[in-house]
Amino acid sequence: MLDSKLLRQDLEQTAARLAARGYELDTATVSALEEKRKTLQVKTQELQSERNSSSKAIGQAKAKGEDAQPLLDAVSNLGAQLDSVKAEQDEILEQLKQISLAIPNLPDESVPAGADESENVEISTWGEPKKYDFAVKDHVDLGQDLNGLDFEMGVKITGSRFTVMRGATARMHRALVQFMLDTHTDKNGYTEMYVPYLVNRDSLYGTGQLPKFAEDLFHTKGLVNDDGEEQEGFSLIPTAEVPLTNSARDEIYDEKDLPIRLTAHTPCFRSEAGSYGRDTRGLIRQHQFDKVELVQLVKPEDSMQALEELTGHAEQILQALELPYRKVILCMGDMGFGSAKTYDLEVWLPAQNTYREISSCSNMIDFQARRMQARFRRAGEKKPELLHTLNGSGLAVGRTLVAILENYQQADGSVVVPEVLRPYMNGLEVIK
């Protein structure tokens, strides 16, 4: 059903905040449906009360030996009316539910106005882009020259936007995953998880991928059970945010157990619907890529500080790898559907002479928790409250590999291995 918090607020004010991020809320329809729902609810209560009274009267009539058939007919008629009103009420509730599922999160007051990425605001930069005394190559040419990235084989095996890695390049990719997980678990207090790569529809509704972004996902056909009936299919995860966050679905945590910090390395699968012609060269935009995801479940009053901390955890990886980057806050028009506030970390790519996104860290406040009914109970309180959920990339592994290849390249086409990765690569210092 439509978020009751929105219905209690000034709908016009809510509509204005949503319009700032490009969503038009039909307040007239919402108000009309809500009024009708209230009318039907009152009618349902009246019919139930009348039926209960008639039912008691039947018992009294029978006890006196009177003819109870007229009362029986009246109760039957009231039951039919009640069924009809309930059916109409269910229809209204479903309409409200579908409207609510399409409404994006309300932006936090600290989020800047703006229509698209050109109006995002730079918060800070770290590191100085290196100056080269030779013509820099992009990661595609470097990877192919090092016999580490094979795009043609990816196309042969599967199709476009799939890549095969081999040798020291594949090992560096694995080393990055291990380094990221070790940092987040050993230094930042995250619990490492291993999660399914296939999820059900409830999970995707919970984190907000459905119904709006169905075309961005890869879906499977349902399995056939022993009775020959096809079951509902699964979807490949677009990010580990989905299974990690849904671990809290329909749960009630004790206050003392919060915050909960979870991390996982998974492949991610995205159809990239509508992105034809963009970043088709190389590893920037693939149908399958790896990511180390960070998720936090926190109390509402702690979530904005948690966003700063989570973003800092992603920054730790970039700093340890000595990769120049910048931090930007996304404007209202560029934020994700479920986010109330988002920071992007953009790494410097010499071949493109620009910064490119490598991590997106978001505070969803109670948007996902309301869908999932993920709650916690404060000490001494009976009524549970909705959690706040946060997520971010810590980091996108393929894009980190791209950044290393380009930033650590040498004039002879070799690539220096960042010092923090060498223990994970048996001491290898240079990929030649």
Has 99 been labeled as part of a binding site? no
Beta-bridged to residue 191, according to DSSP, are 262
- Annotated catalytic residue, options 37, 171, 261, 399: 399
Has 272 been labeled as part of a binding site? yes
Q: Hey, is 165 helix, strand or coil? A: strand
Has 239 been labeled as part of a binding site? yes
Query: Is 360 tagged catalytic?
Result: yes
Measured in degrees and rounded to the nearest 5, phi and psi for residue 198 equal -115, 135
- Annotated catalytic residue, options 166, 201, 249, 285: 285
Has 4 been labeled as part of a binding site? no
Has 359 been labeled as part of a binding site? yes
Phi-psi region of 78 (alpha: psi -120 to 50; beta: other; left: phi over 0): alpha
Has 88 been labeled as part of a binding site? no
Has 360 been labeled as part of a binding site? yes
- Annotated catalytic residue, options 50, 255, 322, 357: 357
Has 261 been labeled as part of a binding site? no
Has 240 been labeled as part of a binding site? yes
Has 358 been labeled as part of a binding site? yes
In total, the chain counts a number of residues equal to 432
In the sheet with 385-386, reading across from the earlier edge strand, the strands are 252-254, 375-377, 385-386
- Annotated catalytic residue, options 360, 362, 371, 375: 360
DSSP state of 19: H
CA 19 – CA 30 distance, rounded (Å): 16
Question: Is residue 217 within 8 Å of 431, Cβ to Cβ?
Answer: no
The dihedral through the CA atoms of 152, 172, 359, 239 has a sign that is positive
CA 302 – CA 62 distance, rounded (Å): 63
CA 125 – CA 323 distance, rounded (Å): 11
CA 335 – CA 341 distance, rounded (Å): 7
Query: Is 399 tagged catalytic?
Result: yes
- Annotated catalytic residue, options 171, 261, 270, 375: 270
Smallest Cα–Cα separation from 395: which of 340, 316, 329, 327?
316
Residues 6+ apart with CB under 8 A from 209: 216, 217, 235, 238, 242
CA 71 – CA 59 distance, rounded (Å): 10
Residues belonging to the active site: 270, 285, 357, 360, 399
Q: Which residues are annotated as a binding site for L-serine?
A: 239-241, 293, 393
Annotated binding site for ATP: 270-272, 357-360
| Residues placed in the known binding site | 239-241, 270-272, 293, 357-360, 393
